[in-house]
Amino acid sequence: MSEELNREIAKRRTFAIISHPDAGKTTLTEKLLLFGGAIHVAGAVKSNKIKKTATSDWMEIEKQRGISVATSVMGFNYGDYKINILDTPGHQDFAEDTFRTLTAVDSVIIVVDVAKGVETQTRRLMEVCRMRNTPVIIFVNKLDREGRDPFDILDELEQELQISVRPLSWPINIGAKFKGVYNIYEQGLDLFTPSKQTISERVEIEDVNSPLVDELVGETDAAKLREDLELIDGVYPEFDEQQYLEGKVAPVFFGSALNTFGVKELLDCFVKIAPAPKPIEAVERTVNPQEEGFSGFVFKIHANMDPNHRSCIAFVKICSGKFERNVNYRHVRSDKMMRFAAPTAFMAQKKNIVDEAYPGDIVGIPDTGNFKIGDTLTSGELLHFKGLPSFSPEMFKYIENADPMKAKQLEKGIRQLMDEGVAQMFTNQFNGRKIIGTVGQLQFEVIQYRLLHEYGAQCRWEPISLYKACWVESDDEAALAAFKKRKHQFMATDKEGRDVFLADSNYVLQMARADNPKVNFHFASEF
Ligand code: G4P
């Protein structure tokens, strides 16, 4: 184990911010970049508009729709730490790759709007975090606006996200009367001044019973704060870092991203407690980041970033060892050696060519179609990383060719878009028709648009009434064969040729499960 490698790994914090649209993810990201010196003036990148800068504005459709379809990466240094934020599109019509991005992070920060509480998108993303025991920190945002009682919010977080919570800061009033937060983690009082430009003032206090607190926030609010803190201590066990790292308890911070309030406290706690890159499971064995041999996997492919050059960028998460430019690595699926002359890192909102990268970092590799999602690169070892499942889509349409002259282009376009992970394709075994499954309506529009603009092909959507597609398998071959025969009209294969059952209602699915106890039904492609 080299010391340099160990040091670099210990510095890395790779995470994603997840939230329901409008909770303040973009604003918080902007403020974090501000603290990292990645942008210079607060408000220089207007909140919301960050999505429209070169960082993630790679696709024409994003410009058109003004929403971030892409997942981009932002790296910056903060003190001794190297921070990588992986952006996840918050739009409700988000794609599979939002889920998949979560497989490339070591922890997440969840942003919740204090008035709205936990919303659908957050709940769905949290399910993926729970599957993987990803450590979670929660930031309750918009305390400068009227909102719900913080104790109610905590209850809702526990219930809706199914995780224990532990407040590490506590608000003094809310909305027009908001005076600041008491930092439980570091024992201090942060006084609120509504301003987008200045950073809050921290008053160190030894103890919440200090008369200074009464002086600063007034006797009534000081008394309420003491009462609240006592209640918190009575109800919530003391914060246990180990439990956080195991994904069992989520520390909660309160603040206002727009006013840069509570953000530094969040960041300071985050760098201290959030995990550095962890060991990752490969099919063959567990891979430790500290190993000398390089390994990494492709978790996202972004095609045709520049419409003038038909190029893709494969986003590779480094799992172990040191990645170096112009060194030969093994592309395990094709069993070819490859070296990369122009790998890019994403620092301070810019793409730069890098000579080296370490576990936790993401490098972008220009690609002309060699990579697929989930591909592994290594120094030579045969490794396949696990944990890049496809999830059961929730919306389905038949895809048909609308321009018979362009059948080849359509086929190629569909294949590449599916490899990129935009959506999933199933082939119905009964009628041979191709079904596209997505997790959001927007994906159909994205596919249609990109097929036309990038491949010159036209598609038409036809409705199909489906509830869910799930992967089926069994140890009992006869039982599986009998099931497939009985359901032959509803059987399909995915792009790897695995059996998929298309259930047209929840009832049908429940019945199928009850009637076929020997057949296993899976809702993610990895089982
Ligand atoms: P998102 O990425 O999660 O979708 O949310 P985003 O940061 O874009 O924030 C959504 C809206 O909420 C923005 O207002 C933003 O200014 C506002 N906001 C974020 N944090 C706070 C906060 O702490 N307090 C208050 N009061 N508002 C906050 P907008 O009007 O939609 O956009 P803009 O015109 O301000 O850019």
Asked whether 313 and 305 are in contact (CB, 8 A), the reply is yes
Choosing from 28, 52, 62, 258 the residue with most ligand 1 atoms within 8 A of its CB, the one to mutate for a pocket test is 258
Tell how far the Cα of 278 is from the centroid of ligand 1, in angstroms: 33
Asked whether 527 and 520 are in contact (CB, 8 A), the reply is yes
Q: How far is CA 413 from CA 180, 419, 443, in A?
A: 53, 10, 14
The DSSP 8-state label assigned to residue 390 in this structure reads P
Please give the Cα distance from 183 to 224 (Å, whole number). 15
Beta strands in 88-196 (DSSP E): 107-113, 136-141, 164-167, 169-172, 180-183, 188-191
Please give the Cα distance from 290 to 284 (Å, whole number). 17
Of the residues 249, 273, 297, the one at which a domain ends: 273
Please count the structural domains in the chain.
3
**Quick check: helix, strand or coil at residue 277?**
coil
Shortest CA distance to 393 belongs to which of 419, 422, 371, 414? Answer: 422
Please give the Cα distance from 190 to 199 (Å, whole number). 10
CA 275 to chain centroid:
16
Q: Indicate whether 211 and 162 sit together in one domain.
A: yes
Domain contains 212: yes
Of the residues 233, 248, 273, the one at which a domain ends: 273
What is the phi/psi pair of residue 369, to 5°? 110, 10
Domain contains 403: yes
Q: Indicate whether 285 and 266 sit together in one domain.
A: no
Structural domain harbouring 291: 280-378
Please give the Cα distance from 319 to 280 (Å, whole number). 7
Domain contains 388: no
Q: Indicate whether 374 and 404 sit together in one domain.
A: no
Tell how far the Cα of 27 is from the centroid of ligand 1, in angstroms: 6
Choosing from 27, 67, 261 the residue with most ligand 1 atoms within 8 A of its CB, the one to mutate for a pocket test is 27
Q: How far is CA 446 from CA 182, 203, 463, in A?
A: 45, 50, 17
**Quick check: helix, strand or coil at residue 523?**
coil
Q: Indicate whether 130 and 256 sit together in one domain.
A: yes
Domain contains 246: yes
Q: Indicate whether 235 and 318 sit together in one domain.
A: no
Residue tagged 């919570």 (tokens) = 165
What's residue 195's pLDDT? 63
Domain contains 1: no
Handedness of CA 257, 260, 263, 267 (dihedral sign): positive
Domain contains 325: yes
Q: Take atom 25 of ligand 1 and give the residue whose Cα is closest.
A: 142
Beta bridge partners of 281: 286
Asked whether 181 and 255 are in contact (CB, 8 A), the reply is yes
What's residue 439's pLDDT? 74
Q: Indicate whether 470 and 510 sit together in one domain.
A: yes
pLDDT digits (tens, 9 = 90+) for 349-394: 566 788 999 999 999 898 887 888 889 999 999 998 875 566 677 8
Domain contains 372: yes
Q: Indicate whether 189 and 204 sit together in one domain.
A: yes
Tell how far the Cα of 24 is from the centroid of ligand 1, in angstroms: 5
Tell how far the Cα of 28 is from the centroid of ligand 1, in angstroms: 9
Beta strands in 390-503 (DSSP E): 395-401, 424-428, 434-438, 459-463, 468-473, 491-493, 499-503
Nearest-atom number in ligand 1 for the CA of 141 is 23
Of the residues 213, 245, 273, the one at which a domain ends: 273
What is the phi/psi pair of residue 226, to 5°? -65, -40
Nearest-atom number in ligand 1 for the CA of 21 is 4
User: Which H/E stretch holds residue 215?
Assistant: helix 211-217
Please give the Cα distance from 362 to 389 (Å, whole number). 19
Beta strands in 12-142 (DSSP E): 12-19, 73-78, 81-87, 107-113, 136-141
Tell how far the Cα of 25 is from the centroid of ligand 1, in angstroms: 8
Nearest-atom number in ligand 1 for the CA of 51 is 2
Choosing from 22, 72, 93, 256 the residue with most ligand 1 atoms within 8 A of its CB, the one to mutate for a pocket test is 22
Q: Which residues of the chain have pLDDT under 70?
A: 1, 38-71, 89-97, 194-201, 303-311, 347-351, 387-391, 525-527
What's residue 301's pLDDT? 79
Q: Take atom 4 of ligand 1 and give the residue whose Cα is closest.
A: 22
Nearest-atom number in ligand 1 for the CA of 19 is 3
Domain contains 122: yes
Tell how far the Cα of 106 is from the centroid of ligand 1, in angstroms: 26
Asked whether 292 and 443 are in contact (CB, 8 A), the reply is no
Q: What is the CATH number of the domain that holds 324?
A: 3.40.50.300
Beta bridge partners of 365: 314
Tell how far the Cα of 23 is from the centroid of ligand 1, in angstroms: 7
Show the DSSP H helices in 15-82 as ranges: 25-35, 60-65
Nearest-atom number in ligand 1 for the CA of 28 is 7
Q: What is the CATH number of the domain that holds 422?
A: 3.30.70.3280
Shortest CA distance to 424 belongs to which of 456, 385, 470, 458? Answer: 470
Nearest-atom number in ligand 1 for the CA of 30 is 7
What's residue 304's pLDDT? 58
Q: Take atom 32 of ligand 1 and give the residue whose Cα is closest.
A: 48
Tell how far the Cα of 491 is from the centroid of ligand 1, in angstroms: 45
Tell how far the Cα of 121 is from the centroid of ligand 1, in angstroms: 17
What's residue 308's pLDDT? 55
Q: Indicate whether 323 and 263 sit together in one domain.
A: no
pTM of the model: 0.80
The DSSP 8-state label assigned to residue 240 in this structure reads -
Q: Indicate whether 94 and 188 sit together in one domain.
A: yes
Nearest-atom number in ligand 1 for the CA of 256 is 23
Q: Indicate whether 260 and 333 sit together in one domain.
A: no
Type of residue at 456? G
Tell how far the Cα of 129 is from the centroid of ligand 1, in angstroms: 25
Nearest-atom number in ligand 1 for the CA of 261 is 23
CA 154 to chain centroid:
23
Please give the Cα distance from 289 to 318 (Å, whole number). 8
pLDDT digits (tens, 9 = 90+) for 70-104: 347 888 899 999 999 987 765 554 556 677 788 88
Type of residue at 311? S
Choosing from 25, 30, 48 the residue with most ligand 1 atoms within 8 A of its CB, the one to mutate for a pocket test is 48
Tell how far the Cα of 231 is from the centroid of ligand 1, in angstroms: 31
Tell how far the Cα of 141 is from the centroid of ligand 1, in angstroms: 10
Tell how far the Cα of 366 is from the centroid of ligand 1, in angstroms: 34
Asked whether 489 and 518 are in contact (CB, 8 A), the reply is no
Q: How far is CA 247 from CA 106, 127, 199, 368, 381, in A?
A: 11, 12, 31, 38, 31
Ligand 1 site residues, Cβ closer than 6 angstroms: 19, 21-27, 46-48, 90, 141-142, 144-145, 256-259
Tokens of 240: 């246990």
Q: Indicate whether 215 and 315 sit together in one domain.
A: no
Q: Indicate whether 125 and 78 sit together in one domain.
A: yes
Asked whether 219 and 294 are in contact (CB, 8 A), the reply is no
Q: Take atom 21 of ligand 1 and give the residue whose Cα is closest.
A: 258
Type of residue at 247? G
Bridge pairing between strands 136-141 and 107-113: parallel
Tell how far the Cα of 256 is from the centroid of ligand 1, in angstroms: 10
The DSSP 8-state label assigned to residue 53 in this structure reads S
Choosing from 30, 47, 143 the residue with most ligand 1 atoms within 8 A of its CB, the one to mutate for a pocket test is 47
Nearest 10 degrees: Cα torsion 505, 511, 513, 515: -150
